[in-house]
């Protein structure tokens, strides 16, 4: 796990290993994206080849790694209500995309709109409507 975190440049990180059923089910949904000192939380899901971002309030960077800890696939900025997978992965790492260390929450886009807050498709539809205006 630590090798993959180093390869990704996600160090320093507050590593959380989701071994139990509840931790795996809820994942990053119930966790703040940063710890108190502004250190980003990286969640490791052992024996996981597919993850979802249902009920997330922000986008995730999701990395799949092999048994040796080498990153084999990286998905950046995965929006809520998505599923990503990698058949050959031994474990998965995930963290919030572009966390603002001052607030501990994901950064807003340049225009001040947080595209990924709230629940998935409704926000994407409203974001698309804003772009159309």
**pLDDT tens-digit profile of 5-47?**
999 999 888 999 999 888 888 888 888 888 877 788 999 999 9
47-97 tens-digit pLDDT: 999 999 999 988 999 999 999 999 999 999 999 999 999 999 999 999 998
Q: Which has the higher per-residue pLDDT, 111 or 96?
A: 96
124's tokens: 């994407």
Closest CA to 57 of 17, 92, 93, 99: 99
Residue predicted with more confidence, 108 or 83: 83
Q: Answer yes or no: is pLDDT of 107 > 90.
A: no
Per DSSP, what are the bridge partners of residue 51? 84
pLDDT for 22: 86
Eight-state DSSP code of residue 83: E
First to last CA, the chain: 45
Residues forming a β-bridge with 16 = 43
């Amino acid at each position: 796990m630590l090798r993959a975190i180093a390869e990704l440049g996600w160090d320093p990180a507050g590593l959380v290993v989701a071994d139990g059923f509840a931790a795996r089910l809820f994942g990053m949904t119930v966790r703040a994206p940063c710890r108190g000192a502004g250190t980003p939380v990286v969640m490791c899901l052992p024996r996981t080849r597919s993850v979802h971002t249902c009920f997330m309030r922000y986008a995730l960077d999701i990395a799949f790694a092999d048994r040796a800890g080498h990153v084999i696939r990286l998905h950046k900025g995965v929006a809520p209500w998505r599923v990503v997978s990698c058949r050959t992965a031994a474990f998965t790492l995930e963290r919030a995309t572009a966390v603002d260390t001052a607030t501990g929450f994901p950064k807003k886009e340049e225009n001040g709109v947080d595209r990924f807050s709230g629940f998935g498709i409704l926000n994407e539809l409203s974001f698309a409507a804003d772009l159309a205006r």
